[in-house]
Amino acid sequence: MNHTDNHTDFTSRFAIDPVTAAAMGTDELRHNFLIEGLFQLGRIGLTYTHYDRMIVGGAMPAGTPLPLQAI
């Protein structure tokens, strides 16, 4: 699930079972577990992960405040 607002990018990552993860190669593991691009100039980047039900995020204001809005 992806959502983009005026200044917020939001993605959601679903859990992968251990058997599936064990069969993945490096590229698949990186695609499913590496969170990139959290700090983009003038943007808020958020990723919700179903592992521990947490949101990982980063914000990099570019001269004006970045309001955190409900998603």
Note the pLDDT of residue 52: 84
Note the pLDDT of residue 4: 66
* Calpha distance 17→71 (Å, rounded): 27
Residue 6, in any domain of the structure: yes
For residue 70, the tally of other CB atoms under 10 A from its CB is: 4
Helix (H) or strand (E) holding 46: strand 43-49
Helix (H) or strand (E) holding 27: helix 26-33
Residue 18, in any domain of the structure: yes
Residue 65, in any domain of the structure: no
Residue 69, in any domain of the structure: no
Residue 66, in any domain of the structure: no
Range of the domain at 48: 2-60
Note the pLDDT of residue 5: 64
Residue 53, in any domain of the structure: yes
Give the chain's domain count.
1
Q: What is the mean pLDDT of each run of 10 residues along the chain (71 residues)?
A: 75 92 96 92 94 92 90 78
Residue 31, in any domain of the structure: yes
